[in-house]
Homo-oligomer: A and B are copies of this chain.
Amino acid sequence: MTSRERFLAACRCAPTDRVPAWVMRQAGRYLPEYRALKEKYDFLTLVRTPELAAEVTLQPVRRFAQLDAAILFSDILTIPEALGQGYSFCESGGIAMDFILDSEEKLAALGAAADVPARLDYMAQAMRLARAELGEGRALLGFAGSPWTLAVYMVEGGSAKQFSKIKRLAAEAPALFDALMEKLADAVAASLKMQIAAGADAVQIFDSWAALCTAGEYENLSLRWIRKIIAALPAGVPVIVFAKGMAHLAPQIAATGASVLGVDWTHKLSDIRKLAGTQLALQGNLDPVVLSFSDEKIVRERTREILDDMRGERGHIFNLGHGILPDARPENFAAMLDVLAS
């Protein structure tokens, strides 16, 4: 079984020879080869230059022979930017959107969702370059933020603490909220279709701000837009939904048409399996901080615990419960993969 076959089989809950693995933000700051590039180019230059984005995408699969998938190096905020709402990074590490999206006028001034693929052509180019060098042996993933998660950034104007603006807009100006979500769902669908056409085997939708929603409003504020996106994608391409803090709503998330649910570390995967049944593959869920520990033995133990919890179950893709941390040790990453392969 090639890595690509293994990964795609797991997405379908079909048998695999071992559990496949990739890691959220695996192309990133914990890698010395990434930091070397980052000394020469800023983050957005890396994202927007196809050759550089492809290079960064491939760094982890070059280093780790047992890694089953690469994921395009990019950023979820490329979509707001392609629609006309740019952004930058603050000194403090937070994100600042160029303006706060808080009116019909500002929504009307955004570009059309149909123009997003042309504006994000650098992503398609990077995907094609990565695919060409990767070959068919390993899986290649595309991704986007969920409409809800993108709307949080756009309406809050960047990183936020209380998230009052987005929740007030959704509750008090539902027509404006729905119009924004409609545009974002169309834009995300267009971006993901473009990424699939350029070589992505599967795509992940990051609903990083899922847990801002109440259980009762999650369907209306987020899931129905994810369902719309999935319905627009070519049949047979697996969609992973990472719903941070909301995996306990697995049956509802499965009803969007997602093939795989990304689970954070606050759940045992076997508990989610009991909730959601055997047709939804599960992805996760090692606590990212474990890869920053100095004791490799703990990395191996914690990895084994997750494998043991899902032993005998089909449809498990190993991953962290959230993105890898900048101080993660590449040796730990290798030890984790070693446990999976042994």
Contact = CB atoms under 8 A, between A and B. Distances in A.
Interface of A: 93, 161-164, 167-168, 171-172, 211, 213-216, 245-246, 248, 265-268, 271, 285, 287, 289-290, 292-295, 298, 305, 309, 321, 325, 327
Contacts of A215: 265-268, 271
A115 B215 CA distance: 43
Nearest to A266: B211
B164 A292 contact: yes
B245 A172 contact: no
B164 A295 contact: no
B214 A295 contact: no
Copies in the complex: 2
A214 B245 contact: no
Looking at chain A's contact residues, is the secondary structure mostly helix, strand, loop, or mixed? loop
A214 B287 contact: yes
Nearest to A294: B172
A320 to B, nearest CB: 11
A164 B326 CA distance: 11
A245 B266 contact: yes
A184 B293 CA distance: 25
Contacts of A265: 214-215
16 contacts: A162-B292, A164-B327, A168-B289, A168-B293, A171-B293, A211-B245, A211-B266, A214-B265, A214-B287, A215-B265, A215-B267, A215-B268, A216-B268, A248-B248, A248-B266, A248-B271
A268 B163 CA distance: 21
Contacts of A214: 265-266, 285, 287, 321
Contacts of A93: 161
A311 B245 CA distance: 26
For A214, A265, A268, A293, the residue with the greatest tally of chain B CB atoms inside 10 Å of its CB is A214
Nearest to A268: B215
Contacts of A168: 289, 292-294
Nearest to A301: B171
Given A167-B289, A171-B295, 13 more contacts: A93-B161, A162-B325, A164-B327, A168-B293, A172-B295, A172-B298, A211-B245, A211-B266, A214-B285, A215-B265, A215-B267, A245-B245, A246-B266
Contacts of A295: 171-172
Contacts of A246: 266
Nearest to A166: B289
A197 to B, nearest CB: 36
A213 B265 CA distance: 8
A168 B325 CA distance: 14
Nearest to A305: B216
Nearest to A171: B298
A267 B289 contact: no
Nearest to A217: B287
Contacts of A289: 162-164, 167-168
A292 B216 CA distance: 19
A178 to B, nearest CB: 16
